Chains A and B, each alone.
Chain A
Amino acid sequence: MYFRTQGPLRWLIAAAVFPLLIGCRSDDAHEEPPKSFEGFSAPAHFPAPVYGFENNPVTEAGFELGKKLFYDKRLSADGTVSCGTCHAQVHGFADHNIPLSFGIEERRGMRNTPGLANLAWTPAFMWDGGINHIEVIPIAPLTDSTEMGHDLAALISFLQTQTEYPKDFETAFGSSEIDTRNLLLALTQFQSCLISAGSKYDQWLTGRTNLTPAENEGREIFESKCASCHSGVLLTDFSYRNNGLDSIFTDEGRMRITLNPEDAGTFRVPSLRNVALTSPYMHDGRFRNLMQVLDHYDSGVKQSATLDPSLSGGIPLEDHEKERLIDFLRTLSDYDFISNHRFSEP
């Protein structure tokens, strides 16, 4: 079991209450009684997750190991970049307001770092949907030469030689023999628990609060003009669409995966959860703020063969409608999620 407590007193307390701690976690922030481990629990107003957990039930040890790995810079080839470097909790696990992220040796990535939330409900990952399963997501950033640039076999050997990790894997998976699968399962346990369902919008959805008149006006505009793609409680229909950013594509988007010319310039419709916290926007981070995004839909949509039919005339918006939409989009920020100690760097 992995404790984040510090100092001998904490260890004494931990030892004294050890039998109680099975299935619980210690909390280092305050002198509170230990809370029971939350595990994965789907919010009542969410649909059933697509990830089944049958082969990877979330345990405290697995979750804590996943978190430790997520924040460990030594998982990158030169020890400079962790997952959390570019997936910052304060920004809804997107990067710190930069269009393209920097990996090892300040190499620049290809596309804007997406926020991480509600991955257990997401059927395919990355802007082009190229990754088909939550468990195999980390292989891409771990090995990409512009991200963490590591070799999986070398990484596994490195982890095996550390004093703590073999014990952590033993506690989590019953074997101190580390392999890629258990590495991925631990990261999945942590990442699947990154659930954002506590925004003001969620509270409104579940009847626990009211939106202001301005937010409510924005919601009505949103529902009539945006929600056909940014649909449902997850605020995306997970489709791939060309939203008219370019006429000539420097990034072919989903076509990179499917090789189908009909997918040229299409990208996954992103969830809008925490959207006000995750600027800049679009696959290349070209828009600095939400107003620029709305201006694009209003008057900047460019024609091309694969432009989404629903955007052929753009989405005409009056200036005051844009203001109200932004009021609404801010209700999607989940401050519990970005401040929840459970997800923070140890």
Chain B
Amino acid sequence: MKFSKIALSGLLIIAAITFQNCSSDDDNNNNNTPSPAMKGDMEIKFDHRWGPSQAPFALDNTHTHPATGEEITFTTLRYYISNVRLHKSDGSTHAEEESYHIVDASATFPKVHVKDIPAGDYTGVSFLIGVDSLRNVSGAQTGALDPAENMFWSWSTGYIFIKAEGSSPAAMNETFTYHLGGFSGENSALREVYSSFGDADMRIAPDALPSAHFMVNAARFWHGGISLGEMSMVHMPGANASLLATNFSGGFILDHIHN
């Protein structure tokens, strides 16, 4: 009984994949649609903001939390964006190969550059905040996953998905350290963001560089009544890391796209 259920769901998955593959090939050429044999790039821009009013945010600046009233100064805000996918109206998706990026709020224009996307019109984008479980258990990695990026726990193997550090008079020892990760089980801190582009499709084409512009609310860590006073040090996987990751991922809002 159990086995047949598993087998059945396996078949359904295979069928679904097959369908997806078929449908992604299906391109109803009108003159305006670029051929998917051509490739283009796009960018996802991350505009770090403070609070629901989307006030300006910057490292080393002191911000007052809109809900808790605590004064907070970030020195570090870095996180992984991985497994970027572009979605089409027919349900098919394009997954970026070797899709691992670090977004660092200290960059002038924090963004992720996605290359070699089959040309065409796309209706949405999705990505993980964090690193999928497979790459957490597969040994030495390179590129954005190089442990020299200091987003890796040496003593309890796994990537730090989100690193937020700074100071606050409200925090214990007046500093806060959030090293959030955990790739398996109930305390997984891996979060997916999916955003539809709404009415306007994103057109991927050679010689074009469209972008999706996300607002990222850095105040979201302390969403839902969590204060720095009670949570100032989270440096390993666990319930707190999972909660903070959920909060932070809720602060990713697609603002607009540029074609």
**Which A residues contact B (CB, under 8 angstroms)?**
55, 126, 130-136, 139-140, 142-144, 151-153, 156, 179-181, 184-185, 188, 256-257, 259
Does A130 lie within 8 Å of B238, measured CB to CB? no
How distant is the Cα of A139 from the Cα of B152 in the complex, in angstroms? 9
Q: Note all chain A residues with C-beta closer than 8 A to B137.
A: 132-133
**A259 closest partner in B (C-beta):** B238
Does B140 lie within 8 Å of A185, measured CB to CB? yes
From B140, B156, B187, give the contact of A184 (CB < 8 A): B140
Q: Note all chain B residues with C-beta closer than 8 A to A142.
A: 154
How distant is the Cα of A54 from the Cα of B154 in the complex, in angstroms? 23
20 A–B contacts, CB within 8 A, in A order? A126-B155, A132-B136, A133-B157, A135-B139, A135-B140, A136-B139, A136-B140, A139-B147, A139-B152, A144-B155, A151-B150, A152-B150, A156-B148, A179-B146, A180-B140, A180-B147, A181-B142, A188-B139, A259-B187, A259-B237
The answer to whether the Cβ of B108 comes within 8 Å of any Cβ in the partner chain is no
Does A152 lie within 8 Å of B148, measured CB to CB? yes
Instruction: Return the CB mask of B123-143 against A: 1 if under 8 Å, else 0.
Output: 000000000000011111110
Give 15 new A-B contacts, CB below 8 A, not counting A131-B157, A181-B142. Answer: A126-B155, A130-B156, A131-B156, A132-B158, A133-B138, A139-B152, A140-B154, A151-B150, A152-B146, A152-B147, A152-B150, A179-B142, A181-B141, A181-B146, A259-B187
Q: Note all chain B residues with C-beta closer than 8 A to A184.
A: 139-140
Q: Note all chain A residues with C-beta closer than 8 A to B157.
A: 130-133, 136
How distant is the Cα of A136 from the Cα of B150 in the complex, in angstroms? 14
Instruction: Given A180-B148, A259-B238, decide whether A188 and B140 contact each other with a Cβ distance below 8 A.
Output: yes
The 7 closest A-B CB pairs, nearest first, are: A135-B139, A152-B148, A184-B140, A135-B140, A133-B139, A181-B142, A130-B156
Q: Note all chain B residues with C-beta closer than 8 A to A259.
A: 187, 236-238
Instruction: Given A140-B154, A153-B148, A180-B148, decide whether A134 and B142 contact each other with a Cβ distance below 8 A.
Output: no
How distant is the Cα of A132 from the Cα of B237 in the complex, in angstroms? 15
**B238 closest partner in A (C-beta):** A259
Cβ distance B160 to chain A, nearest Cβ, rounded Å = 13
Instruction: Return the CB mask of B104-120 against A: 1 if under 8 Å, else 0.
Output: 00000000000000000
How distant is the Cα of A156 from the Cα of B138 in the complex, in angstroms? 21
Q: Mostly helix, strand, loop or mixed at chain B's interface?
A: loop
How distant is the Cα of A181 from the Cα of B100 in the complex, in angstroms? 15
Interface residues of B in 198-243 (CB under 8 A from A): 236-238
Does B147 lie within 8 Å of A136, measured CB to CB? yes
Cβ distance A291 to chain B, nearest Cβ, rounded Å = 33
Q: Note all chain A residues with C-beta closer than 8 A to B154.
A: 131, 136, 139-140, 142-144
Cβ distance B11 to chain A, nearest Cβ, rounded Å = 29
**A184 closest partner in B (C-beta):** B140
Instruction: Return the CB mask of B186-200 against A: 1 if under 8 Å, else 0.
Output: 010000000000000
Q: Note all chain A residues with C-beta closer than 8 A to B155.
A: 126, 130-131, 140, 144
How distant is the Cα of A132 from the Cα of B138 in the complex, in angstroms? 8
**A130 closest partner in B (C-beta):** B156
Taking each of A131, A136, A185, A259, which has the highest tally of chain B beta carbons within 10 Å of its own beta carbon? A136
How distant is the Cα of A16 from the Cα of B101 in the complex, in angstroms? 49
Does A134 lie within 8 Å of B139, measured CB to CB? yes
Does A257 lie within 8 Å of B156, measured CB to CB? yes
How distant is the Cα of A185 from the Cα of B141 in the complex, in angstroms? 10
Cβ distance A251 to chain B, nearest Cβ, rounded Å = 13
How distant is the Cα of A181 from the Cα of B152 in the complex, in angstroms? 13
How distant is the Cα of A144 from the Cα of B187 in the complex, in angstroms? 25
Q: Note all chain B residues with C-beta closer than 8 A to A156.
A: 148
Q: Note all chain B residues with C-beta closer than 8 A to A188.
A: 139-140
**B139 closest partner in A (C-beta):** A135
How distant is the Cα of A256 from the Cα of B237 in the complex, in angstroms? 10
How distant is the Cα of A304 from the Cα of B129 in the complex, in angstroms? 41
Q: Note all chain B residues with C-beta closer than 8 A to A130.
A: 155-157
